[in-house]
Structure 1
């Protein structure tokens, strides 16, 4: 692709694209196409596209030229220090192509800091050549136009990921007048800034102006600033639509939030529309989530396809970019009900704990107590809005809740297998350590729960088969055990898994997850095996007796009192 240089004639064909570099401080740009004819010396119908052809059509400037009439296009505030592509396409029939080198173009820049006139190559260029001229000159041929602006120095301070603060060196207040715009440069070109929210707040200093009439218009734009605020109040550049702002004595504050700003240099232009001078306090910063998503949301940093961006995860029916849309929000009474359901449903573990203690399964009872405690306070901390109680860090409570849930299933199935005690306790400890490791790697992974459950079931089935073969009858052998304990417990467990896997959604989470708590706790109370025959139940009314027992020592043939 040829580069059009200022003041240099370049042989050009109609179908060949070209590009031109827009210098800094360019206030305007004018493109003119002259004397386009076909190979048969007939008028050529062409279409000129300024801007990248890979962008949507709204980001392009297109003009159509027909006949011998010269075509021109004026652009206000072209993007600074960027390459612009110029593409000329023939619109005529296929056999009437434009002859190579049969166009003559004229390009002119108007600058902010100088005013000088350059030659018009369209009047001197010969046929078969294309001339581009860049001059820091007038906006059109009839007269000259000069610009002036006040540039305020701004320092960028990186605070965290997608978190930037802009500090004005001359203080938070900037002077604004009605003769020329005041310009602030906000750099967002690091490549990692497009995933947050750009927040700009303006506050009119009423002590610096006459309170009768004071109005300041502002515009936030990317790539190039808007320099004609006082004249047209049009907040738009050559290729982009900016974001307008305004403050006045009647409304002294204004805030703008730009979600996911594009990676580029952003400009804030301010100008006074009346009086002569005023002061405006400017606060500008880049934050991951505006207002930290409020009381009904949580700000999360996400990485997808190599891009880092932030977003709000809203709860309790709230929506919007910062969780401020209450169209489907839950009332406080519904939030209280949801919290009570999720927390008090864990009390159904008390029967399972009592059964485990009665049958002398103290390790299992300890695990159930641990699960009940952390599940209760995790769900009390997981609620949005004002109904929240966190006794620990949220991440710690969540990890302990997940760990207790999986370990409870693990120890229950191993207890049902009735393996030897030494093997059972080794599997208890080893399985808990592996579960803790897997949860640290992927806390919400499906196999973190399915894996231990399936492995424990394999151990239980193998142990029951071993006992059945050894005793030569079905194990467990009692039909009452199957009818009144095992079948109800297995049914409750399968219903709980079905509710958890297929019925639970974000809308009914408070109810279905509470049902999950109740069903799992009840199934544990049914599935725990009976106590060993040589173990007596806890009897607090029994008195401890002391007695002597005479034991015979066969080796020494003596009697010893123990």
Structure 2
């Protein structure tokens, strides 16, 4: 159900007779208000919503027992009934008998089985006013092992009385055990009408020894082992390791237990493969994947539709010996894979035929690990775990395989060149720092330029990618270099004493490193230390202004040609970084941010002290010898 609250603060929805299970409330911002979150800045607007829920329960719910009439009288309110469907139920028939209407022709009654809040294929409705009585509703393969809700309501404002009867048709399964599989061989055949499995010489009658007795079977059940590999990673494997025998007279079913509550956040992958020597002529293997109950009506229908579920069809033939199916975010339930052999043109060819089908079923977090244009991400919300692909370079889809809006290889390379080569502007503040004997600042700028270049080279998807280190390591170093570069630039502008400046350099770097470890994208990781450095710089400038009785810096050329342009570039860069950067223009805006940050650092660095010599001159030795006399020891040294 979709709710919109653009022009109001409150919105509500009334959900009558909700389906049992977990319900979720999700909030989503329109695309126009979404901004990209990079290096700790949050979107311009934050939205908070508080969901409230009021539950009203139905007090009287009648329980229907199989083949027992239940008298109901409808007035202004509907009647609520429920019936339990046991396991291996093949059909459920709901019948209304003996209808008596007061003051109305016919019997205006509508019966709904299942929750009305689910899609139409998850509910069945029957209007009995224009149908001959008794009014019947047949549900093939109802969901096993659960209660079904039945709602009966009058279509006219009159009193209606009737009797409701539920009839269940049991399904007799033939379960294949591990001992059966050990003795099985390709030359065996299963007689479902007699309940016997014919074996080769020297083997016992497994149909009689299984204890199920004689009589027709509706399915052959193959056991499956569930092996949990990792988070949202499960491997289902038949006991015989590979195959399932498929016959023409009885469906072969495989149960996949995905009811642990932690299996709905991945993708269910099913792969079927048949032996080409066993599928001949018009032989066809049809399969259906359903939840809650298996599909058993291959003789009458091939649409894989059960009582409340539209299944997923698959088929194997001589022209297609393999079939694959992917179900993203499967429902938390027992899933059933049903297979049966069909011969549409000549049914007599299937009577003695048997096909071994290799089944490979896995639950994976992301298909193909999202490929080269995506990254598999895990999201946990209130004990629910989900996996999804974060696609890049314009790719879309469950596994980032939709290239309808994808970037070309030339566009990807252009983006990489913009993001990496724009870091070469840091050569300007490096050269200025070296010339003015600011070696620590030059080292920080070199560090930032190096890791920012290779981080963006590794951050790009597809073919234009180069990673010299782990991606997480490169990202951390890039964020650290950006924060420390701003920190040392502002402190350098304060013109502190050398010892105090270097102490603050080290302390600030340690604090920024700690905050990035706690929350790499936190807004105060960069803003906190930078504001503290700005307070120190403003205090020192104010002290010098008061001490000298003039503005500091006192040179108007310094303000006009260096400080004001540097402050303007830094302000524009922060504005672009915070308000204008989105996922569509990231390559251009972030490259501009690199150039503005490096350019402002080159302009804002303070000039060299007029009394200090350049660092290259301070270490030069004189070109002549000087004799130093130690008056105490009368020793001579030559320097």
C-alpha displacement at 1:7, in angstroms?
Answer: 4.8
How many residue pairs get aligned? The number is 522
Question: What does the per-residue CA deviation read over 1:320-354, in whole Å, with 9 as the maximum and x for residues that have no partner?
Answer: 12111111211112211211221121111112112
Corresponding residue of 2:152: 88
SS in 2 for 1:500: helix
2:297 corresponds to 1:228: yes
Report deviation, 1:52. Answer: 2.3
Shift of 1:188: 0.8
Compare 146-155 and 386-395 and name the one that shifted more. Answer: 146-155
The question of 1:108 aligning with 2:167 is answered yes
- Does structure 1 residue 371 correspond to structure 2 residue 430? no
Aligned-pair CA distance for 1:417: 1.0
State the shift of 1:307 in Å.
3.0
Q: Which residue in the other structure is 2:93 paired with?
A: 30
Provide the C-alpha distance between the structure 1 equivalents of 2:153 and 2:572, rounded to a whole number of angstroms: 68
C-alpha distance in 2 between matches for 1:8 and 1:36: 16
SS at match of 2:379: strand
Match of 1:138 in 2: none
3-state SS of paired residue (2:615): coil
Of residues 232-241 and 451-460 in structure 1, the stretch that sits farther from structure 2 once superposed is: 451-460
Q: Is 1:415 the equivalent of 2:492?
A: yes
Residues 163-206 of structure 1 show CA distances to partners (whole Å, capped at 9, x for unaligned) of: 11111111212111111111011111111111111110111111
Greater displacement, 540-549 / 248-257: 540-549
Which sections of structure 1, spanning at least 5 residues, go unmatched? 115-144
- Asked whether the 8 Å contact 1:318–1:329 carries over to 2, the reply is yes
Looking at structure 2, the residues matched to 41 and 505 of structure 1 have their Cα atoms a distance apart, in angstroms, of: 65
**Alignment correspondent of 1:132:** none
Distance in 1, Cα, partners of 2:102 & 2:300: 46
Structure 2 counterpart SS, 1:328: coil
Structure 1 stretches of 4+ with a deviation exceeding 6 A read: 558-562
Aligned to 1:249: 318
1-side partners of 2:92 and 2:359: how far apart?
Answer: 30
Cα displacement (A) at 1:440: 1.6
Question: Are 2:69 and 2:163, in contact at CA under 8 Å, matched by a contact in 1?
Answer: no
**Pairwise CA distance, 1:534:** 3.9
- Give 1:549 shift: 5.5
For residue 343 of structure 1, the aligned residue among 391, 405, 420 is 420
Q: Structure 1's 9 and 233: CA in aligned 2 closer, same or farther, altered over 3 A?
A: closer
Query: 3-state SS of the aligned residue for 1:511?
Result: helix
Does structure 2 conserve the Cα–Cα contact (< 8 Å) formed by 1:184 and 1:268?
A: yes
- Out of 180, 184, 189, the position equivalent to 2:259 is 189
Partner residue in 2 for 1:71: 135
Residue aligned with 2:277, SS: helix
Match of 2:109 in 1: 46
Contact 1:203–1:253 (CA under 8 A) maintained in structure 2: yes
* Match in the other structure for 1:172: 242
- Taking a change above 3 Å as real, the CA distance of residues 41 and 492 of structure 1, as seen in their structure-2 partners, is closer
Residues 1:158 and 2:228 are matched in the alignment: yes
Given that 1:228 and 1:234 are in contact with CA atoms closer than 8 Å, whether structure 2 keeps it comes out as no
Cα offset, 1:560, TM superposition: 9.8
The offset of 1:424, in angstroms, is 1.9
- C-alpha deviation, 1:261, in angstroms: 0.8
TM-score (ref. length: structure 2): 0.78
Match of 2:582 in 1: 505
Q: CA deviation at 1:377?
A: 0.8
The farther-off stretch of 477-486 and 38-47 is 38-47
Change (3 A) 1:474 1:561: farther
- Asked whether the 8 Å contact 1:27–1:109 carries over to 2, the reply is yes
CA contact (8 A) 1:176 1:270 kept: yes
Could you tell me which runs of 5 or more consecutive residues in structure 2 were left unpaired when the two chains were aligned: 1-60, 174-214, 344-349
Question: What is residue 309 of structure 2 aligned with on the other side?
Answer: 240
Q: Is the 8 A contact 2:70 2:163 kept in 1?
A: no
C-alpha separation in 1, matches of 2:136 and 2:324: 38
Query: Are positions 1:472 and 2:549 aligned together?
Result: yes
Deviation at 1:80, TM superposition (A): 0.4
Q: Deviations over 1:75-106 (max 9, x none)?
A: 1110000100111111111xx223xxx42122
Tell me, in whole angstroms, the C-alpha distance in 1 between the residues paired with 2:483 and 2:314. 55
3-state secondary structure, aligned to 1:294: helix
